[in-house]
Each structure stands twice: as structure tokens, then as C-alpha cells.
Amino acid sequence: MDMQNIIEYEVYGDYALFSEPGMRIGGEKTSYHLPTYEAIKGITESIYWKPSIKWIVDSVRIMNPIQTETRGVLLQKYGGGKDLAYYTYLKNVRYQVRAHLEINGNYPELKADWNEGKHYNIAQRMVKRGGRRDIFLGTRECQGFVVPCVFGEDRSFYDNMPGEVSYGFMYHGITYPNEAVLPEDKWKMTLNFWNAVMKTKGILEFPKPEKCPRRRVIKKMEPTPFGKGTFSGLMEFTDEEA
């Protein structure tokens, strides 16, 4: 990993809801106590993303105490009428994030855009601006905000935690074919799970998706095509645009 490709930022918000897709089918939703790799990766992509790169989330540091709040939500029923459901959110969340970018070799047609230095510089500017797109903490109703930080600085509620806390088997994220690394993941959507552990100082150290201990193929899937005629972002950004 090139140390020059690392970005560090803090994301915070009043509420968050982190869960796996299978937990969102019914009316009731309950958040994990910890952010998922997929959610943090999505936030990082909202800061800056192009198909010629991919983001790898290395570490997350939990800054505020883990608190939950259950709220009643009035839902529109498919057959008409309304129904009351209860969502359990994380409350007053704040995380430090360290992630790095890598070139996405699955798109050789975008080789002209394989310029790590350019993407890194743009990503750093986007962190300072709070991201290019809206930031959500797990779900759309949980608005988040991004500011630059130095990972490890400032005080975390868990700085004096005497040991590690295991959260057991937990959803990590989804590997789509456009970012597949392993040959067996090509043309497939793969669900990844890991054994989540919050280490001292409230730090989560995520494994890469392809190194998760439990993985399950969901379905066959073709990668999203990018290239001439399908993606207009190959042009260099000007300072004004970036």
C-alpha cells in the first residue's frame, strides 16, 4: 500500500443505522453497534469515486459511546394504508476513518485514467469540502457530515478500554464483479462476513473483502460497463471542477 494514497477523515451525525441487506426486508430495522465495512466504503465513495479506482477501508475508530434509540416510524403499506414499525438507530455517532485507494484493474479500457496521484489529490480536496455527494450513515434518513482529521488524534470514549470486545459473526459487505480480485469472484455478487472485534482505543481493523473468513455467492452478475460512450469522466478535472 502506497502511504501517499491514504485519506483520513471524520464522519459524524445524529443517527446511524448499519445492517445487512437481509435485515431490511421487514418493517423492523435494528442497527449493528458497529459500522459495517460496506457503509464506510459507501461514505468514502461519496467523498470521491471513479470506476478506474476502488477504495479499501483500513481502519475505523469509534469516538463516541455506543448508544441506541428506538423510534416509531409510520410506513406506507404496499396494499394501501399505513403501519407502525420500530427502528433502532445508533445515536450521536462519530467515527475516524482511514482508507486508501487502489487502481481498479478490472477496467483496462480506462487505463488512461490510472493515475493514482491525480485521484489522491482530488480525494484530499474532496475531504476538505465534505464530499462530492450527500453523506449517509447506513440509510438515507441518517444524514452524515465529513471533516478532515488525523487518525488517532483527539480523544475517544474507548481510549481507556482495558481489552478487546468481540462482536462475533458480522456482515462485512458485498463484492461486486466490477471490483472482484479473486478469479472465483469474477461475474458474481459475493456476500462477505467477518468476526468483528473492537480493539483498544475503539479501533476496528477491517480485512479486505477477499480475505473475509466467510463468503457466500449470491448470484451471477455482469460488471457494470464503463468506457467510451458509457462514462464521461475520463477527462482530467480542472481545479475549479475538483
Domains identified in the chain, total number: 1
**Residue 15 is part of a domain; what is its CATH number?**
3.30.70.2660
Region 154-181: mean pLDDT is 93
Rounded-to-integer distance, Cα 32 and Cα 173, Å: 13
Residue 193 lies in a domain: no
- Asked, for residue 242, whether it belongs to a domain, the answer is no
207 pLDDT higher than 90? yes
Please give, one letter per residue, the 3-state secondary structure of 128-160: HCCCCCCEECCCCCCEEEEEECCCCCCCCCCCC
In a domain, residue 229? The reply is: no
3-state helix, strand, coil in the chain (%, to 5): 20, 40, 40
Provide the residue range defining the domain that includes 72.
3-169+199-207
**164 within domain boundaries:** yes
Evaluate whether residue 26 is within a structural domain: yes
Q: pLDDT at residue 3 above 80?
A: no
Do 87 and 28 contact (CB within 8 A), yes or no?
yes
For residue range 53-79, list pLDDT tens digits in order.
999 999 999 999 999 999 887 777 777
110 is a domain residue: yes
| pLDDT score for 237 | 41
pLDDT above 70 (res 162): yes
What's phi and psi for 179, nearest 5 deg?
-125, 15
* pLDDT tens, residue by residue, 90-118: 999 999 999 999 999 988 889 999 999 99
Judged against a pLDDT cut of 90, whether residue 135 lies above it is answered with: yes
Whether residue 187 is contained in a domain is answered as no
Phi and psi for 73 in degrees, rounded to 5?
A: -125, 130
> Minimal CA–CA distance to 166: which of 195, 200, 197?
197
What pLDDT, on a 0 to 100 scale, did the predictor assign at position 205?
97
User: Which value, in Å, is the radius of gyration of the alpha carbons in the chain?
Assistant: 19
Distance (Å, whole) CA 51 – CA 55: 10
For the chain, percent of residues with pLDDT exceeding 70: 90
Cα separation, 96 vs 62, in Å, equals 7
Say which residue, 237 or 170, is predicted with more confidence.
170
- Write down the pTM of the prediction: 0.88
Q: Is there a domain that residue 95 lies in?
A: yes
Torsion of CA 209, 214, 216, 221, to 10 degrees: 10
What's the CA gap between 239 and 231, in Å, rounded?
Answer: 20
